[in-house]
Amino acid sequence: MDLGVGSFIFAQGVASALPILKDPHHLSAPLIPKVLNSITKTSPLLFLGLVRLILVKATDYPGEHISEYGTHWNFFLTLALIPPLQMALQPIFCYVSITFVGLSVAV
């Protein structure tokens, strides 16, 4: 991934920490409504990612760099899937340090 994607992911991480900082009980709130809410908010990005995938494959676009994201992945799909995954990992944060979870996911 390049610097642009990393910057967007970093900004998403900073913004997603605000509910936890404002209300520490946010971590123990029910998981399903939080995940559904994040999926609803990121559905336009998921739609854009799927449309881009279909259009790139349908037109045989020559500028597709397989080494950057792989064969079927793109920037919009990355941005769409990070918030639901972060919400799904939140129950773990009650028992394990956020730093440890971040490092284990990165490795």
What 3-state DSSP class applies to 94?
coil
pLDDT, tens digit, for every residue of 19-66? 777 887 777 788 888 889 889 999 999 999 899 888 888 888 776 666
Cα 99 from chain centroid? 17
Kindly state the average pLDDT of the residues 71-88. Answer: 83
Angle between helices 75-93 and 31-59 (to 10 degrees): 160
- Which DSSP string do the residues of 29-93 spell out, in sequence order? S-HHHHHHHHHHHHHHHHHHHHHHHHHHHHHT-TT--HHHH-SS--HHHHHHHHHHHHHHHHHHH
